[in-house]
Amino acid sequence: MLDALDLCLACKGCRSDCPVNVDMATYKAEFLAHHYERRLRPMAHYTMGRLPFWARLAAYAPRAANAALRVPLADRAVKRAAGIDPRRDLPRFAARRFTDAFKEREKKGPNGQSRQNNRHGRNDGESGSGRRVVLWPDTFTNNFHPRIAEDAVRVLEAAGYRVEVPPAALCCGLTWISTGQLDTAARELRRTVRALAPRLREGVPVVGLEPSCTAVFRADAPELLRDDPLADDVARLRDQTRTLAELLDEHQDELGGTSPLGSRDVVAGLDREPVRAIAQPHCHQHAVTGFGTDERVLRRAGVDVEVLDVGCCGLAGNFGFEAGHYEVSTAVAEQGVWPAVRGAEPGTAVLADGFSCRTQIEAGTSARPRHLAELLADLLPDGPER
């Protein structure tokens, strides 16, 4: 059974595509939990499976961590010891995490003046108006691509929301789930739910930027903690978690279908070049949240988007990084997403909300894929039009 499941990418595509909704990703996680209960795990489970832990350590000295990984001999040694294929490039840690930048931002007013925070960790300054929303700083966005979260803040504030972040470093447990370390995943989720509980009970929505982490809150957490004492708050987290597109889509429906980012007519009136984009939906996004709201938000903002129907990118979290999976991972990419991206017309934006999807596209093409938040932030009008 271990050999049979070794080539399961845990993409969750079967969850929505199978006529009876068999979820092989969950089955694989459960199997791995039982199989390794009294066995030594593969090294990749201790490295990539515990990525949030290592990312927290690297945050103390990200430049030093990146520099160490750039040394050729050290790079190869680290990959060999960590169970990573030597042909894979390791992602680089950001110089500053989003959560650190956000805390600093919240302490200062528009002129650099200090602002006091109330007991819930939110400020009472200039950004204190509007409906509250919690922006979830997942491990991938927070530690590797913080610009995405910063742009999401800009977009949400432009739509009239007051953005908050959790009061401490938290995790959804994704990497532990995907490697079958379910006891640890459950502990991480309980810690997260306890920290978010006051906001959840007040009805504050939680916005996820990484599709796989969002899918944990919507699907995996309620399954893993079904009989837990925190089950009621877990259900609230499931029901109140939104993707960025879902929240904006609901907001736009309230406005009668218009977009705070500008309709097609508004975009044309700003003398802006037409925006063309192709989008690679993340597999967990396809299986759990869908991509329809993303399409509506983009079209209302004046973006002509083509949604690729080419299947999984092939990286699938830790799968494509693990030694022994490189050939399968790249073969999957060559079947769909890589040729589609290479064949896109010049000037076409490549959208990929998933960290894995962006990493795989960068590995096999010259494109620099972007998150929905980044594209929408670029479309925000400046000056009087804002």
Q: What pLDDT, in 10s, does the model give residues 298-344? A: 999 889 999 999 999 999 999 999 999 999 999 999 999 999 999 99
Q: Which of 76, 32, 84, 33 is nearest to 54 (CA)?
A: 84
Contact 192, 172 (CB under 8 A): yes
Task: Please tell me whether residue 207 adopts helix, strand or coil conformation.
Answer: strand
> Does the reported pTM lie above 0.85?
yes
Q: What is the DSSP letter of 48?
A: G
Average pLDDT of 71-78? Answer: 84
pLDDT band at 264 (very low <50, low <70, confident <90, very high): very low
Strands (E), the chain: 131-135, 161-164, 206-208, 241-243, 275-279, 303-307, 349-351
Which range (54-63, 89-98, 246-255) has the least confidence? Answer: 246-255
> Would the pLDDT of 41 be above 90?
yes
DSSP string, 141-157: HHHT-HHHHHHHHHHHH
Pairing status of strand 303-307 against strand 241-243: unpaired
> What distance in Å separates the CA atoms of residue 339 and residue 365, rounded to the nearest whole number?
9
> Would the pLDDT of 219 be above 60?
yes
Question: Which of residues 43 and 71 earns the better pLDDT score?
Answer: 43
pLDDT band at 386 (very low <50, low <70, confident <90, very high): low
Dump pLDDT digits (tens) for 106-137. Answer: 887 544 544 444 433 444 334 456 899 999 99
Domain with CATH 3.40.50 in the chain: 257-385
Which pLDDT value is given to residue 86?
93
Contact 51, 138 (CB under 8 A): no
Reported residue count of the chain is 386
> Would the pLDDT of 354 be above 70?
yes
Which pLDDT value is given to residue 255?
77
Dihedral over alpha carbons 254, 256, 257, 261 (to 10 degrees): -70
Contact 216, 173 (CB under 8 A): yes
Q: At what angle do helices 231-240 and 182-201 cross, to 10 degrees?
A: 70
Which pLDDT value is given to residue 127?
47
Which range (16-20, 84-88, 288-292) has the least confidence? Answer: 16-20
Q: Which of 90, 95, 100 is nearest to 64 (CA)?
A: 95
In this structure, whether the domain defined by 257-385 belongs to CATH 3.40.50 is answered with yes
Average pLDDT of 193-204? Answer: 97
The helices-and-strands tally (H runs, E runs) of the chain is 23, 7
> What distance in Å separates the CA atoms of residue 164 and residue 270, rounded to the nearest whole number?
31
DSSP string, 167-181: SS-----HHHHHTT-
Q: At what angle do helices 244-254 and 146-158 cross, to 10 degrees?
A: 10
Percentage of the chain beyond pLDDT 70 is: 89
Question: Which of residues 169 and 152 earns the better pLDDT score?
Answer: 152
- Round the average pLDDT of the chain to a whole number and report it: 89
- The set of long-range contacts for 381-384, using a CB threshold of 8 Å and a minimum separation of 24, is 381/262, 381/266, 381/270
Which pLDDT value is given to residue 253?
84
